[in-house]
Amino acid sequence: MKGAYLLVDALTLLPTLLFSFHPRIAFYCHRATYLPALAVTAVIFLIWDACFTHLGVWGFNPQYLTGSHIGNLPIEEWLFFVCIPYACVFTAYCRRLAGGRGPTKRNEQAATAVLIGFLLPVALLNPHHRYTFTTFLSLSILLAYCSYILKARWLGRFYFSWLVLLLPLLVVDGILTGTGLHAPIVWYNPQDILGIRILTIPVEDFFYGMELVLLNVLLYYLVQRLRYGRSSPGEMPEFV
């Protein structure tokens, strides 16, 4: 189906974008601090994406695309890095408005240690799997920075929000990787992944998505600190 990837982007973004203007939610009020974080994260991931597409780590099935490209990436892939993180951060924001809590600091530190203790060794043992190595290593570094250097108080709340986001991400990423379709919209070179899948989703995608959303939140903090002069960069963010 032509345009299937664009439809996935639109159906992910439009409901959250519309509800952003609901008076009881008013997520649009964060645009001055969140949109720069979203833009910078998108640029970083698009560079990564373009390099891996060029190397053949992954690619896109033309039968599901509109045919418009910028560089070597379809326009749908550019939109992905706006639509998906926006929807995820909006969902986390709504969870906070509803009074959602996070784990204790001790439990957050334990979760961080477990994640890094899993991701880093797997990355170092699999340098030949380019998607695995790059994603697991970079996420390990990002988690270590947030927890041990920034000492972000919001990291535990982010973990809980990420667990909530896993269900919709299973649906979206499942469709993109071929669940319910006769062929995937996005394909992966089997030599560059571990080969472990949940439904049709490579396990690497879950950590790639986690890093995408976490970097959005982190950069929001840095922009907020520059804009408003907040003294504690580890202070709880307003929307997570």
- 3-class DSSP assignment, residue 42: helix
- Sole residue written with tokens 């890094």: 116
> Could you give the CA distance from residue 231 to residue 77 in angstroms, rounded to a whole number?
37
Residues in CB range of 205: below 8 A, 6 or more apart: 173, 177
DSSP 191: G
Q: Looking at residue 154, what is its pLDDT?
A: 87
**What pTM does this model have?**
0.92
The Cβ-side half-sphere exposure at 104, using a 13 Å CA radius, reads 2
Predicted pLDDT of residue 240: 62
Overall residue count recorded for the chain in this entry:
240
CA angle 190, 159, 103 (to 5 degrees): 150
pLDDT along the chain (240 residues), means of 10: 92 93 88 92 98 98 95 96 94 77 83 97 98 98 95 90 92 94 95 96 97 94 78 54
The SS3 assignment for 23 reads coil
Query: Tell me, what's the pLDDT at 226?
Result: 83
**Secondary structure E strands in 121-225:** 186-188, 197-198, 201-202
Question: What's the CA gap between 117 and 151, in Å, rounded?
Answer: 18
| DSSP code of residue 147 | I
- Alpha carbons within 13 angstroms on the beta-carbon side of residue 28 total 10
